[in-house]
Structure 1
Amino acid sequence: MNEDGDDRDSICDSPTELVEGCRLPVRMGGTQDWPLAEIVSIRGSTASDLSFYVHYVDFNKRLDEWVSVERLDTRKVQYPRRDGQPGTGVNTPKKTTILGSNSIGPSSRPTSPISDPLTNGGGAALAAALHKKINRKRKGTTENDVPLTPTPVPIPTPPVEEERLPATPTNHKIQKIQPQTPEPSADGTQQPRLTGSMVAHNDDVVTRMKNVQMIELGIHRIRPWYFSPYPQELVNLTCIYICEFCLKYRKSRKCLERHLAKCNVRHPPGNEIYRKNTISFFEIDGRKNKAYAQNLCLLAKLFLDHKTLYYDTDPFLFYVMTDLDSRGFHIVGYFSKEKESTEDYNVACILTMPPYQRKGYGKLLIEFSYELSKFEGKTGSPEKPLSDLGLLSYRSYWANTILDILISIKPTGDNEKPQITINEICELTSIKKEDVISTLQNLNLINYYKGQYIITLTEDMVQQHKSAMDKRKIRIDPKCLHWTPKDWSKRSKW
C-alpha cells in the first residue's frame, strides 16, 4: 500500500489488508471479464474465510455480488485516500440531495427539478431546445446524460411469526409523518409501530447491499436485484415465499402452503377497470387496501433502486396488470400514481416483474398510464429519476407514439406539407410538452428552415418505425377501459 494512500495501483500481499472502499479488478460472475470493482463490505476474519461484497464501477447495482478471494486481482489495488474521497462510491454522489420535504396532503410533493427552457412553450421552447442541442454538441455531451441517483432506506424490524407475518409499512416517497398507534390486525396481533421517516443517509452500507437471496412468487423463483426492507428474520433465509395473489410473505414453503389452503383470493383487490383477452388492470386504493399496497411496495423495491420507500400508502393509487389463466390473475407488473399531483405526474413508480420483461409488457404499462391521462383530459409525465430500464422504455414509447402521429397526419387545404404544432401533439398523446420536445430532439427531427421550425422525417426512419410497431403485438384498447376519473381535490379524505 502507498504511504500517501492515493489512487495509484498497489500490490496487496494479503487479502486481510483489503478494506472497504478499495478498488481492484474482480472477475464478474458468469463471465471471464475483470472489470474494476469497489469493495462495499467484508465478512470473515481470516484469509481462508474472507468474502467481499463488491460493486462493479460503471455497472448497474443489480450486478453487485459477494465474491471469494480467488476472484480478486490483488496486484492492482487502489486504496481509498485518507481523506475518504473515493471510499463510499457506488457510482453515486457522496450524499443524496433531497429535493424537498413532504407532508401528507395536497402539498406532499418534493420540489421540482430546475425548470428546463423547453417548457416555456411556443417558438421560444423550440429555439431553446435547438440552442441547448448545439451547446451539447460543442461540449461533447448527449441528451442521454441523465443522472439516476438511488436513495436507499433503512431496515425496519417487525416481528415474525410462523404463520402470520405483519405487513411492513412502506411506500415510494421520502416523507416525515407523525408516529401512529398501531392498529390490531385481523388475528389480533398488532402491526409494527410507525415511528417516523424512512429517510437514510446515502452512505448506509447496509442499504447498498442486496439483502434477499431469492424469492418464490407463484411458479417463478427470482433472484432480487436490490435491497428491500423485509423483516430481518426473513432476509437471513435462503428464500422468501410470497403468495402471488395477496402478496403476503412467508418464511418457508410449508408456511406458504398452509396460507394458500386458507387464502381464497385469486386476483388483486380493488376494481378491475380493464380486460382484453387475458390482460386485466386492477385499480387499488392505497388507503382502502393498505396491506396489499405495502406488500406490493416491498416486492417492487427488490427490483427498483432509484426510489425510496416510506410508510404511508394513502395518497397513492396502484394499477396492477395481470395475466389470467385457469389458476387466477397473475401479477405481471404495476405502476402507482398520486391521487393529487401538483406537477402532473401520471406515474410514481413503474415495474414489470422480471419473468415478464422483454415481452412488451413494459410499454403496455406506459401506454395504459397515458390512456388514463387521456380520460382525465390532461398531459402527464413519469416522476424522475427513472431507472435505466425505465428511461429506455419511456424514450422508446414516446418516440413510437409521436412518430405514429407525425406519419398519420395529412395536408389540409392548399398546404403542400402537413402541419402540426407541439401543443397538438401533446393533446393527441397526453405526453407532456417537455417530453415531446426532448423526444423530437433525440430523434433529430427539429430543424430551422427559412425562418421557421420544421419537422423532417426520412424514409428510413418511417420504415424503421413501421417495423418496430409491427413487433408490438399487445396494445391497449380504449374501448375496454371502464373507468371514470375522480377529482381527489374535492374529497376531504382520500
Structure 2
Amino acid sequence: MKPGANLKLPDKMIDVTEGCLVPVRMKFTNEWHMGEVISIKNSENGDNLYYVHFIDFNKRLDEWVTKDRMNLEKIHLPTREEAALKLQEMPISPDDRITTTEVEEVQRNNNSLNNTLNNTLNNNLNNNLNNNLNITISNNLSNNLNNNLNNNLNNSINNSINNSINNSINCPPISPVNKFVLGPKKGRGRKRKLPSFTSQSENPDHSPNLWAGGSGAVVAPRTNGSLSSHNPDDILTRIRNIDLIEIGQHRIKPWYFSPYPQRLTSLPCIYLCEYCLKYVKSRTCLIRHFTKCKLRHPPGNEIYRKGTISFFEIDGRSNRIYAQNLCLLAKCFLDHKTLYYDTDPFLFYIMTETDDRGCHIVGYFSKEKVSSEDYNVACILTLPPYQRKGYGKIMIEFSYELSKFEGKTGSPEKPLSDLGLLSYRSYWAETILELIINLKTPEGSIRPQISINEISEMTSIKKEDVISTLQFLNMINYYKGEYIITLSKEVIASFERISKKRRLRIDPGCLHWTPRDWTKRGKW
C-alpha cells in the first residue's frame, strides 16, 4: 500500500454519534441527502436506530433509520469544540439547582462569620493597646490628660484597622438580584453552563425547559397561552414521539412532537374519540368510552351549515378539556405553534363533515378573543386525511367572512408553516383577482379604478397582505409617475383555470353568528 493512501474502515468500526452529518437514503425517493443524527436508540433486535433530520427539508420527513441506509464513507463527525459546547449547554436537572432556602442559609453564615471576625479582632486590638502602649509622661500632668490621650489613640487605631479589615476580610453580602438566581451546584463530574446573574424579569423570553437533563424525566410543558415559536434546538421537541394516532376511520402518522402523556407515547398507537377527542391507550378502552360518550358533534354552538359542511364555535374557557385535547392533536401536525393548556383566551372554530353517524372533524382554526394586532387566525389545520380537497381554503374563507361580520381587516398570525403559506397565498391571489377582474368600468373612464385600501376593505384582507400578494403576482408596475395594477393574459388564464376547480365556497347567508365585544368582559 502506498504511503498516505486512505484506509477504508468497515461500517461496523465507524462509530456514529449524535451530531454527525452523514448522507442518508430517503425512504420514498431513494435519493441521498445530507442528514443530521439527532438521537440514537436500540431496536428490538439489538441494532442501533438513528433519528435523522434531513438538512434543508421539513422536520415532518425526519425518521428512524438503520446504518445500512447511511453512506459512512462521507460521514462528518462533530468537532471537539461543538461537543464541548453541547455538553456545556446541557439543561440542568431540578436536583442540580440551588434552592432559595440554601441561598438564604449561605447569607446567614456569611453574616455570622463577619460578626465573629470583627469581635475577635477588636478584642485582640484592645488587649494589645492596654498591654503594650505604655506612655511615659511627667508626674505633674493630671490623670485626665492621660485618660484623654489613651482614648484618642484607641479610637484612631481602631477605626483605621477596622476599615482595612472590612475591605480585605469581609465576605460581600448577596445582592438582591443574585438572591433569587437558581444556579447550578458545583461539580458532580459534569461540565455546566455558567449561571446567569440576571433575574427572570430581565429576560422576558424565559420559559421552562421541556427536558429535565440527565435524570431523563420529562418536565410538563409550559402552560401559558403564548403562540410564539419554540426553540428549534430543544432536544425533546425535535424528535417525533408518537408512531400512530387512530381517530374515527383513519390511522394517521404524526409529523411532529406532541406532549401527550408519556405512558401513551411509548405505545404503538394512541386511540382518540373523534367527537370529544379523549385519548386512550387501546381500542378496548375506546369501545368502552363510546358507551359513555353521548357526543356526536363537537361541543359548542353550530354557527354555519350548508350541505354536509358545518362549523362549530368552541369557547376555550367553557369547553376547556375539549380545547386542550384539540391542541394536543393539532401539535402532531403543527411545528411552529405552541399552545397546550391555557386555552381560555382563544376561540376555536371546528369544521366538520356530516353523515348518518355524526359530525366528523375535518380541521379547525383558532383565534384570540382580543388581538392587539388584528389577527383573525392563530392556528389553522386540516387533518391529513382531508388535505388536498379544498377544505383548508374553505376555513381561510370562513375566517375572513367572520372578519367581515366584525367590520375589521384580519391577517393570520406569523410565522406561517410552509403548507399554511401556500394555502393563504393561493386564497389571497384568487380573492383579489376575482375582485379586480369583475370590476366594472365607470362611465367616462377607459379602465376600471380601485385602490389598495378599497381592496382591503372589500375583502377584509389586511393591506400588507394585499400588497405582498400583488407583488408576488408581479401586478404592481410604475407607469408615468404612478403605480398601477396590471393584469397579464397568463394571470387571467391561471385564475380561470383554478376557479373551475374550486367547488366549495362559503355562503354568507348560511352563517348565523353575532360578534361579541370581548374587551368589555373582565376575564372572558
**Could you tell me the TM-score, scaled by structure 2's length?**
0.71
The structure with more radius of gyration: 2
The answer (yes or no) to whether the contact 1:14–1:47 under 8 Å persists in 2 is no
Q: What residue number does 2:163 align with?
A: none
Task: List aligned pairs for 1:68-147, cutoff 5 A.
Answer: 68-84=66-82
Task: List aligned pairs for 1:218-229, cutoff 5 A.
Answer: 218-229=248-259
How far did residue 200 of structure 1 move? 6.8
Task: List aligned pairs for 1:67-466, cutoff 5 A.
Answer: 67-84=65-82, 154=210, 173=226, 202-466=232-496
- Are the structure 2 counterparts of residues 15 and 31 from structure 1 closer, same or farther at C-alpha, using a change threshold of 3 Å? farther
How far did residue 242 of structure 1 move? 0.0
Q: What residue number does 1:25 align with?
A: 23
How far did residue 155 of structure 1 move? 7.3
What is the identity, as a one-letter code, of the residue corresponding to 1:36?
Answer: M
Deviation string, structure 1 residues 12-69 (Cα, Å, up to 9, x no partner): 8546611111111111123311111110001139996111000011111001000111
- Are the structure 2 counterparts of residues 240 and 376 from structure 1 closer, same or farther at C-alpha, using a change threshold of 3 Å? same
SS across alignment from 1:75: helix
Between the aligned partners of 1:429 and 1:488, the Cα distance in structure 2 is 23
SS across alignment from 1:84: helix
1:63 pairs with 2:61:
yes
Identity within the alignment, %: 64
Between the aligned partners of 1:316 and 1:72, the Cα distance in structure 2 is 45
SS across alignment from 2:506: coil
Between the aligned partners of 2:317 and 2:489, the Cα distance in structure 1 is 51
Deviates more, 1:307-316 or 1:477-486: 307-316
SS across alignment from 1:282: strand
How far did residue 207 of structure 1 move? 1.2
How far did residue 410 of structure 1 move? 1.3
Which runs of 5 or more structure 2 residues have no equivalent in the other structure?
Answer: 1-7, 87-200, 213-219
SS across alignment from 1:32: coil
Between the aligned partners of 1:45 and 1:310, the Cα distance in structure 2 is 31
How far did residue 413 of structure 1 move? 2.5
What is the identity, as a one-letter code, of the residue corresponding to 1:366?
Answer: I
Between the aligned partners of 1:232 and 1:313, the Cα distance in structure 2 is 22
How far did residue 461 of structure 1 move? 1.4
The answer (yes or no) to whether the contact 1:42–1:53 under 8 Å persists in 2 is yes
Q: What residue number does 1:142 align with?
A: none
1:41 pairs with 2:39:
yes
The answer (yes or no) to whether the contact 1:336–1:348 under 8 Å persists in 2 is yes
Between the aligned partners of 2:254 and 2:285, the Cα distance in structure 1 is 21
- Are the structure 2 counterparts of residues 443 and 86 from structure 1 closer, same or farther at C-alpha, using a change threshold of 3 Å? farther
Between the aligned partners of 2:208 and 2:383, the Cα distance in structure 1 is 20
1:471 pairs with 2:501:
yes
The answer (yes or no) to whether the contact 1:152–1:208 under 8 Å persists in 2 is no
The answer (yes or no) to whether the contact 2:376–2:410 under 8 Å persists in 1 is yes
SS across alignment from 1:274: strand
- Are the structure 2 counterparts of residues 12 and 308 from structure 1 closer, same or farther at C-alpha, using a change threshold of 3 Å? farther
Aligned residues: CA RMSD = 2.8
Between the aligned partners of 1:44 and 1:264, the Cα distance in structure 2 is 43
SS across alignment from 1:26: strand
How far did residue 86 of structure 1 move? 12
Q: What residue number does 1:191 align with?
A: none
How far did residue 202 of structure 1 move? 3.9
Between the aligned partners of 1:389 and 1:374, the Cα distance in structure 2 is 25
How far did residue 357 of structure 1 move? 0.1
Deviation string, structure 1 residues 364-403 (Cα, Å, up to 9, x no partner): 0100000000000000000000000000000000000000
Which runs of 5 or more structure 1 residues have no equivalent in the other structure?
Answer: 1-9, 89-102, 104-108, 111-150, 157-166, 176-198
The answer (yes or no) to whether the contact 1:246–1:268 under 8 Å persists in 2 is yes
Aligned pairs, how many?
Answer: 394
SS across alignment from 2:72: coil
- Are the structure 2 counterparts of residues 87 and 13 from structure 1 closer, same or farther at C-alpha, using a change threshold of 3 Å? farther
SS across alignment from 2:64: strand
Answer 1 or 2: higher relative contact order, Cα 8 Å, separation at least 6: 1
- Are the structure 2 counterparts of residues 271 and 169 from structure 1 closer, same or farther at C-alpha, using a change threshold of 3 Å? farther
SS across alignment from 1:262: coil
The answer (yes or no) to whether the contact 1:286–1:293 under 8 Å persists in 2 is yes
Deviates more, 1:229-238 or 1:62-71: 62-71
Between the aligned partners of 2:421 and 2:66, the Cα distance in structure 1 is 34
Identify the structure with the greater helix proportion.
2
The answer (yes or no) to whether the contact 1:217–1:244 under 8 Å persists in 2 is yes
